[in-house]
Structure 1
Amino acid sequence: MRILLAPDSFKEAASAEAIAQAMARGIKRGNPQAECWLMPLSDGGEGLTHALVHATGGTLHDVETVDAVGRPIIAQFGFLGNKHTSCTAVVELASASGLERVSPADRNALVASTFGTGLLIRAAIDAGADCIVLGLGGSATTDGGTGLARALGFHFLDTAGHDIPLGGGSLVDLSRIDDSRVSDSIKNVPIVLACDVTNPLTGPEGAAHVFAPQKGATATQVELLDQGLANLARAIMQYNGRDIEHTPGAGAAGGTGGGMLGLFNATVRPGIELVLNLAHGREACAWADVVITGEGSIDSQTPYGKVPSGIAKLAQSQGKPTIAIGGTVTRDPHTVEALNKAGIIATFGIAPGPADLTTLIANTERNVEITCAAIASTLRITAATSPCESA
């Protein structure tokens, strides 16, 4: 039996690569004769760089940069392998400007900035990149990508002509945008935004109202951030005539989607579709008899642009079934129906029984291994007793 192992990361517990390795160990325990193809995935958030570098045989590069609150860190970008015609670099916003980089006590929704991600992009361009894949997801920021743009030479000025401070809280004071020190090579480099959300920049479904509370913003701060993003949209319209405020995906990563679309040569693609294309997902699904995927929580969001539904739809198009595992798994009938339509025929929770969250997170890889061993044993028995096998 040939089994494609294509998980996302289990957030705050284990990377996609670690989960795939744990799946493989479990499969071999349950069915030593099974063949496994490991294809760790990402929908554009955490793990994008490693997923694409792993899939294409690319390279990782360490860069000195800063986190969302300005502290020095080392983060990575990657170059794709497999003889791509362009020199394509992969950067994930979560690597430098991610929420997981900042403890809850240190999170500051008004000053958090994407500046560190801009330093990663500059390092990639300086190293020869002529195309950037930027993963939007997992950010600690609501600055509309202005920190990123500032690291690449843009200036965001108040009415007196002074640079406004970093962070989304200062965007209400933005008067105009100055690009006089931005090179044409930076302005024109193609940037593909890997994005799994369609939220607009502002309003009830925008970046501030939907995502900023997760990043530590109070109700008052949410309103201030929303006003700042609206002001950024106005300034970009004045700068180059681009209307980003209500563009689907502009609200991704604290409005970074909107800032990138407004200031750079950027386009948006669904993250999982981009990753599956670069990782040769169709070829992998054609090879497999069954696909096993997973993420930290199989819930109401899973059917819409997440890794499990993305790989399941591709597998379904090849006539192959998909099984999904998760740290938690919903049994809501509407969600289950949506998962089934996407091609996920069964879901399994990995928790062995009642336990506190800290213990469950610490044992994630072991629990993935045990769950996949049970799945592999069941698949082996089913295959051995099927009419096709016995004929």
Structure 2
Amino acid sequence: MSGKVLVCLDKFRGCLTAAQACAAVVAGVVDAGGAAVAMPVADGGEGTLAALAQAGYREVHVDVTGPTGRPVRAAFAVRGTRAVVELATASGLDALPDGRLAPLVADSHGTGELIRAALDHGCLDIVLAVGGSATTDGGAGLLRALGARITDSRGAPVGPGGAALTGVAHVDLSGLDFRLRLARVTLVSDVDNPLTGPSGAAAVFGPQKGASPRDVEVLERGLRRFAAVLAAETGRDLSGEPGAGAAGGTGFAALAALGARRASGADFVLAEIGVEEALRTAALVVVGEGRFDEQSLRGKAPVGVTEAARRHGVPVVVVAGDVRLSADQLRAAGVSAAWSLLARAGNLDAAVSRAPELLAQIGRELPSVVARGGAA
């Protein structure tokens, strides 16, 4: 085999991290006599810090308030004066005690504490990587942690969580940490949803966080109320901006109150870890994640790698837990072949339990794909 296989897998949620999935495929390629390089990727959600470690970022661990009030150990990554804050480590589904969902009260306070810790660390280039949140609080908790006052009609502080936002009467941003005026804040995400409405944070993502139809109505009312009150404070309504609905509306708080600019999470991570440079010596690229479907085509990391590979003329194959796209859709996306762990294992339980073994099996088949010029 001439040339190496570049393995750029994202996480297989609930099964393997991106690094673990990449390592399994690489082991199979090497076992078959080929050469391979692991380059785990992420799109701004869970796993972003792990992906950035290969680009020289150093993790800083901090104890913060978890999504339901219990302390959790969270992290941000530092390189120079830049800090990348991964919301999922502080306010994500994996930070919930015993995994118990709390759609009405889960709060983003811990993410604000992470930002404050990054400022304490001397970082004024703050990248807020959102995704995998347990919250639908519009980022109200994040703003409180940074010094904002959010009160009801009596002047009393509004409680944590999205349901409490139905009682918001006033937002005072004058107490925000003064260092934020000197900082540049970038919101990175693969989500372009607005804050409210049928495509908003509550309607689309609330059910994934345990919200019933009734809960979704309450959360929607709270987000609409919070958006109106914050617009009165800032003089502009950014609730309809793409990305405002990211992470239960944390994107909205970053855009509206912190003056953040929005960028693609996948593009940010891929640029930082040097995918373009790695493609110069690759003969084949492997992309994929737990489920490769139409959502994957909407700015996620695997498709970002695929587009870069096409520019370099490098063939791309998909390896995923489950492939939900047709052969025509895969071809249109620039993918020449696809492997599904679910199809290979026969059922979901076997696909999950045998994932490392199955990925290694597929890896052993890849050198012959390279020999055929990328065609399976």
TM-score bucket of the superposed structures, by smaller chain: over 0.9
Aligned twin of 1:360:
351
Instruction: Measure how far apart 1:36 and its partner are.
Output: 2.3
* Other-structure match for 2:64: 65
Q: CA deviation at 1:105?
A: 6.4
Counterpart residue type for residue 217 of structure 2:
E
Q: 1:286 aligns with which of 245, 266, 280?
A: 280
Paired position in structure 1 for 2:28: 26
SS in structure 2 of the partner of residue 144 of structure 1? coil
238 and 14 in structure 1: CA distance in 2 versus 1, 3 angstrom threshold: same
> Larger deviation: 229-238 or 359-368?
359-368
Alignment of 1:340 onto 2:331: yes
1:238 corresponds to? 232
Cα 1:383–1:260 shift into 2, 3 Å: closer
Q: Given that residues 142 and 225 in structure 1 are in contact (C-alpha distance below 8 angstroms), is that contact kept between their aligned partners in structure 2?
A: yes
- The one-letter amino acid of 1:13's match is C
Q: Tell me, in whole angstroms, the C-alpha distance in 1 between the residues paired with 2:16 and 2:367.
A: 21
What is aligned with 1:5? 7
Q: 2:199 aligns with which of 201, 205, 214?
A: 205
1:122 and 1:129 mapped to 2: Cα distance? 10
For structure 1, the 5+ residue unaligned runs are 385-391
Q: Following the alignment from structure 1 to structure 2, what is the Cα–Cα distance between the partners of residues 90 and 250? A: 19
SS at match of 1:301: helix
TM-aligned CA distance change 1:52 to 1:200, over 3 Å = same
Amino acid at match of 2:253: G
What does the per-residue CA deviation read over 1:165-197, in whole Å, with 9 as the maximum and x for residues that have no partner? 011111111111112322321244211111112
Deviation for aligned residue 1:284: 1.3
Q: 1:180 aligns with which of 160, 174, 187?
A: 174
Can you list the C-alpha shifts for 1:13-61, whole angstroms capped at 9, x where unaligned?
Answer: 111111111121011012x2x332321110111101111122x112111
- Pick which of 297-306 and 176-185 moved more: 176-185
Deviation, structure 1 residue 361: 2.3
Q: Corresponding residue for 1:379?
A: 370
Determine the structure 2 residue equivalent to 1:46: 46
Which of 304, 310, 314 is equivalent to 1:310? 304
Note the C-alpha offset of 1:10: 0.7
Whole-angstrom CA distance in 1 between matches of 2:160 and 2:136: 11
How many residue pairs align between the two structures?
372
DSSP-derived class of the 1:323 partner: strand
The whole-number CA distance in structure 1 between the counterparts of 2:158 and 2:102 is: 17
| Structure 1 residue 124 displacement after superposition | 1.3
Aligned-partner Cα distance in 2 for 1:383–1:317: 16
The alignment partner of 1:70 has SS state of: coil
Identity of aligned residues (%): 37
Q: CA RMSD in A?
A: 1.9
CA distance in 2 between partners of 1:187 and 1:201 (Å) = 24
Q: Secondary structure at the match of 2:290?
A: strand
Aligned equivalent of 1:387: none
Matches within 5 A, 1:40-119: 40-54=40-54, 56-80=55-79, 87-102=81-96, 106-119=100-113
Distance (whole Å) between structure 1 residues aligned to residue 262 and residue 373 of structure 2: 42
CA distance in 2, matches of 1:28, 1:374: 11
Q: Secondary structure at the match of 2:289?
A: strand
Work out which of the residue numbers 153, 161, 165 in structure 1 matches 2:159.
165
Identify the residue that residue 37 of structure 1 maps to in structure 2: 37
Query: Mean alpha-carbon deviation: is it higher for 320-329 or for 58-67?
Result: 58-67
Note the 1:191-270 alignment, pairs <5 A. Answer: 191-270=185-264
Cα distance in 2 for residues equivalent to 1:104 and 1:200: 30
- The verdict on how the C-alpha distance between 1:339 and 1:104 changes in structure 2, with shifts beyond 3 A counting, is farther
For residues 240 and 3 of structure 1, the distance between their equivalents in structure 2, rounded to whole angstroms, comes to 50
Q: How far did residue 383 of structure 1 move?
A: 6.0
> Shift of the alpha carbon at 1:100?
2.5
Structure 2: runs of 5+ lacking an equivalent: none
